[in-house]
Structure formats: structure tokens, C-alpha cells
Structure 1
Amino acid sequence: MNIKGTLVIIGGNEDKGQSIATSEQDHLEFIEDGILSRVVKESGGVSAKIVIIPTASRIPDQVAKSYLSAFEKLGCKNVEVADIRSFEDAEKKENIQLIEEADCVMFSGGDQSQITRKIGGSKIHNILQRRYQDDNFVIAGTSAGAMCMSEKMITGGNPKEFFKKGTVKIGDGMGFIPNLIIDSHFIRRKRFGRLAEAVAHFPHLIGIGLAEDTGLVVKKCNSFEVIGSGMVILFDGNSLIFNNESKTPQGEAMTVANLKTHVLADGFHFNIEERKVYFNSTLTV
């Protein structure tokens, strides 16, 4: 696939100290300097134009302010905010111009369905897809901003229900990368069951469970590098020898057999087309 752009897909790292937060979606999402620095590097350095899109958040003004401050600390001088709170905002000339001129867009955390509802199918969505295809353009996102990047997107699911059919809710994402389905805050929020169900439902997709302060740098849409301090849990259902998802009644426990699992740390690479793990250019498995 001849894709010139880069995706930086980040597992999130929410701030627990925000007294304004009233629910999971309300928490501010922060990224450690190491990962945010990598976003800047992939975008072309501190002179790059970075556009923050806090559409997913219920407190977009505060989230935008936090990212403006974080990028400023890294020396960035050309950072702006695309304030998109409705589909109509995603059609506005001033927001379209920001995306056309950007070297990088950064989607914040919050509710991933807000991104697809307010930007999906818009002029800005079309521009993002074209520029990712044709330009040296970076699309970065944390938490909800990461989960929305795939064609199929997890929209919700109660981890306390474990591996029961119907627990996970799946919708259409932004479609930047077709082969993955992504979950964030994976370790802290115990999301093993819902990602496993998503892969059981779509066994041709690779399930990506991102720990906080951990991310992927995806090049040419066919391979990624793991970055950050945590781990990536990868579910590969391509070789399942048993999967009763289609026959299991709603609410009942499912079974899959031969679900291949990788645990990847910083510096390791995964070839999506080959479904193999590498360290630098050396084949690991």
C-alpha cells in the first residue's frame, strides 16, 4: 500500500487529579514528553505546524489549552486548534484551511464516537484521508483519538462482563488503517475481554491493546514500531482453529482457540502484512 503519511497511535495517560472530571470521558488526556516529542519529530521538528483537534472531549477548551502548553514546552511555535464541535464545524472554511496547511493533526482523548459523528464523512475527513495517502503528513491521536483511526472501532463495552458475546460495541472508525482494531488504557482498565471479543467477531483484524504512555508509529500502513514505557498486547486471530462467536447467544461466554498473542515493548516492530515481530531488521517470530 503506497501511503506516504504516518500514524502515531497512543494509549493515553489520563490525569487523575482533575477535580472538574466527573466521568471517564471528562478526564484530561496527557502524554509523556517522550511520546509527544516523537510526534514533533515525525511532523518535521519544532517548526512544524501542528493542529490540535479536541473534538472527542467534553471539555475541549481545557484539553486544547493543555496541549498548547505541552507543545510549547517542547519548543513548538506553530500550534493551533481546530475547534470542531459539530459536523457543520468540520465543513467550515477556517477549519478546512488549518487541516490543509498542517504538518500534523493531534486528536485528543474523550469519546471516540464524537470524532466519527462530528468529523466522519466531512470535508475535513476527506482531506485527512487524502493527505495521509499523498503527503508526508502525520495523524496522531491518544486514547479515543487513537481508537478512531481504524476502519472498525470499539465504541464501548463493560470489562466486568469479561468475554461474553455482545459486551463490546463496535462501529465504523475514521478508516486510516484497515487491518487493526485498537483499544487504549488496555492494562489499567482491564480490557482484555472486549478486545478479544472484537477479534473473535473480526478475526481478520489484528487487535491492538495499548497500555498508557505507550504508542505505535505506523509507516506506510503496513508496519509499526512500539514506543513508550508500557507494553502493547497484540491479538492475531488469523489462525484460529475454533471460534464459536457466531453461534453463541447474546450474553453468553464465548470460546476461541489458537488466538495468537504477542507482548511488545519499546523498540520492537510488527509487520502487519507478514504478521511477524521484528527488532530493527531482525526477525524475532
Structure 2
Amino acid sequence: MSIRNPKGILIPIGGNEDKGIEKHEIYTLEFIEEGILAHVLKAAGGKDACVVVIPTASSIPVEVGENYIQAFSTLGCKNVHILDIRSREDSETPEAIALIKKANCVMFSGGDQSRIIKFIENSTIHDIMVERFIKESNFVISGTSAGAMAMSFEMIAGGNPKDGFTKGATIMRKGLGLLPEVVIDTHFIRRGRFGRTAEAVAKFPNLLGIGLAEDTGLIIKNANECTVIGSGMVIIFDGSTLAHNNEKILEDGTPMTMTNLTVHVLSNGDQYNIKERQVKVLPLEAPFI
């Protein structure tokens, strides 16, 4: 299904968002009420919203589901459902279809993004999500880590950061197609993924590369208007101005050359327009949101 001018909201997250349960301060904001999941819940309609968590990407889906139930409960939301999909057949059950039809927010967990594609892409619940995303302005699809990466049409499926900037180091697959104009990478700062996102942009210079730090996300409206949320940074790679890009002529394992790649470093409250490729930053005195 082609996605043009969708009305819904996407909220990709870089991973390790504050769930109000982590003990290490690097993974938490001062209060979960000020964090990313609070933004997700607000966009979905507030405490009475129906939230469906899909932990398909995770190798420990039961534990992950319990964490999200606890996190959203801390925010006052009790209408949280775990849709534990572990096969394509699970994506076609009447129960799964009914949950996706009534959800105000669908939340994909972290893990392995290829599992999301394997079990959900082109399924009935995928078709319902896309249709609702196109038509409904208050329908939210969120995803953290793997769940964020799976949103794009061209999806990063893997790649070792140590081999970054060499041809073939970044593995690409087709994603869920919700954001056809971008490629998303996550855990971006902590795991040193600058090179693999740069290679993804070299492969597809017409697409934007978006690198999300941990506990950091974007609220994306109409698949275009982006606002940064969370405690870290969002790195934007714009290859539309590349003066030299030798990716197509190189053999795998060869160091790449890219010149005039435009890179933006954005933080909480900053905005980006995907179609116009324009940045709008907050004044220095603006408050944290």
C-alpha cells in the first residue's frame, strides 16, 4: 500500500527509553512523567488510550511486555495489551486483528528488526496499521531500537560499526514502509553507528539518514514534521548535496569517499522538516520539553 500524506503520528525511539524502572541514572530522566513514554501516551490520547505493545523483535518478549505494562501503568494508563507475535500465523488471528483495530497506539519493542519484518510485514495487521496511519490523525505507531528501525522502507538490518565507511559493511533490507523517505539507526551515539548510517545514505542518497541516541526520539507528524524529544541527540544525514560518492563503483570491503555530506546534530525541542530538508532549532533560553 502506497503511503502519501498520512495523517497519523510516528514516534521512533533510539532505545533504552526511561520506563521508570532502570536504576542506572544514564537511562533515566528525572521523572518518567517528563520522558518519552509520556509523549507517546499524550499523542495517543492520554491515560485512557488503548496501547498495544508488540515485543516480536525481542528474545525475551514476556519480560519486555511486563516492563511496558509497568511503565505505562506508572503513567496512569491501564489499558495496555501485549500482542506476542512469534509467527506469521500469529499476525492473522482474530484476536490480533481486533487489537490493532481498536488500538490508539501500537508500540514495537527493541531486539532484532528482521523478526518484525519476517512475522508482520504484509500481514493483515500490517495492512490495518498502514490504513489507519494514513487516515487517522490521532493514531500513533511508536517503536524503540529495532522497532524504530523497522519503520522505514529501506531498513538497516545489521552491520558492524568497526567496519563503518567500507563498502558492504551495512546490511539493508525492506522495512514496514511507514517512512519511505528516511533510513533510521538507533543506539546511535553509544554504539558508534555513524559509519553504517553514512553508508546507508551513500547507497540511497535520496533518503535522509536519522541516527537516534538512547532515550531520544522523534515525534513525526504527516511523515514529515519532526520534533526531537528525550535526553539525547538526533543526528540527521542529508546526502542530497553530495559532491562525490563512489559507493556504486567500489568492491565490498573498500573504504568509501563521500564529500559535502550535510550533517545536523539536534536535541530536545529542535524540529526538522523531511520534505523541505530544513532545520528549526530552539532559542538557547527555551525550556526542556
In the TM superposition, what are the counterparts of 1:196-215 in structure 2 within 5 Å? 196-215=198-217
Identity of aligned residues (%): 57
Query: Shift of the alpha carbon at 1:14?
Result: 7.7
User: Tell me, what secondary structure is at the counterpart of 2:97?
Assistant: helix
In the TM superposition, what are the counterparts of 1:1-285 in structure 2 within 5 Å? 1-13=4-16, 33=32, 34-135=35-136, 136-279=138-281
TM-score normalised by L of structure 1: 0.91
Q: Which amino acid aligns with 2:114?
A: S
Query: Shift of the alpha carbon at 1:138?
Result: 0.2
Instruction: Count how many residue pairs are aligned between Structure 1 and Structure 2.
Output: 267
Rounded Cα–Cα distance in structure 2 between residues aligned with 1:221 and 1:55: 24
Deviation readout 1:90-147 (Å, 9 max, x if unpaired): 0001010000000001000000000000000100000010000011200000000000
Q: In structure 2, do the counterparts of structure 1 residues 111 and 31 end up closer, same or farther at CA, with 3 Å as the change threshold? A: farther
Q: Which amino acid aligns with 2:160?
A: N
Q: Which amino acid aligns with 1:234?
A: I
Superposition RMSD on alpha carbons, in Å?
1.5
- Detail structure 1 runs of 4+ shifted over 3 Å in the superposition: none
Rounded Cα–Cα distance in structure 2 between residues aligned with 1:77 and 1:227: 24
Rounded Cα–Cα distance in structure 2 between residues aligned with 1:170 and 1:162: 14
Aligned to 2:21: none
Deviation readout 1:215-236 (Å, 9 max, x if unpaired): 0000011110011110011100
Given that residues 86 and 118 in structure 1 are in contact (C-alpha distance below 8 angstroms), is that contact kept between their aligned partners in structure 2?
Answer: yes
Q: In structure 2, do the counterparts of structure 1 residues 128 and 280 end up closer, same or farther at CA, with 3 Å as the change threshold? A: farther
Aligned to 1:21: none
Q: Which amino acid aligns with 2:148?
A: A
Given that residues 266 and 281 in structure 2 are in contact (C-alpha distance below 8 angstroms), is that contact kept between their aligned partners in structure 1?
Answer: no
Q: Which amino acid aligns with 1:60?
A: P
User: Tell me, what secondary structure is at the counterpart of 1:55?
Assistant: coil
Rounded Cα–Cα distance in structure 2 between residues aligned with 1:58 and 1:234: 30
Q: Which amino acid aligns with 1:235?
A: F
TM-score normalised by L of structure 2: 0.90
Q: Which runs of 5+ in 2 are unaligned?
A: 19-26, 284-289
Query: Shift of the alpha carbon at 1:280?
Result: 6.4
Query: Shift of the alpha carbon at 1:31?
Result: 7.7
Rounded Cα–Cα distance in structure 1 between residues aligned with 2:50 and 2:184: 27
Q: Which amino acid aligns with 1:6?
A: I
Rounded Cα–Cα distance in structure 2 between residues aligned with 1:230 and 1:109: 18
Rounded Cα–Cα distance in structure 2 between residues aligned with 1:140 and 1:130: 16
Rounded Cα–Cα distance in structure 2 between residues aligned with 1:252 and 1:193: 13
Given that residues 106 and 140 in structure 1 are in contact (C-alpha distance below 8 angstroms), is that contact kept between their aligned partners in structure 2?
Answer: yes
Given that residues 5 and 222 in structure 2 are in contact (C-alpha distance below 8 angstroms), is that contact kept between their aligned partners in structure 1?
Answer: yes
Rounded Cα–Cα distance in structure 2 between residues aligned with 1:139 and 1:125: 11
Given that residues 91 and 122 in structure 1 are in contact (C-alpha distance below 8 angstroms), is that contact kept between their aligned partners in structure 2?
Answer: yes
User: Tell me, what secondary structure is at the counterpart of 1:277?
Assistant: strand
Q: In structure 2, do the counterparts of structure 1 residues 70 and 31 end up closer, same or farther at CA, with 3 Å as the change threshold? A: farther
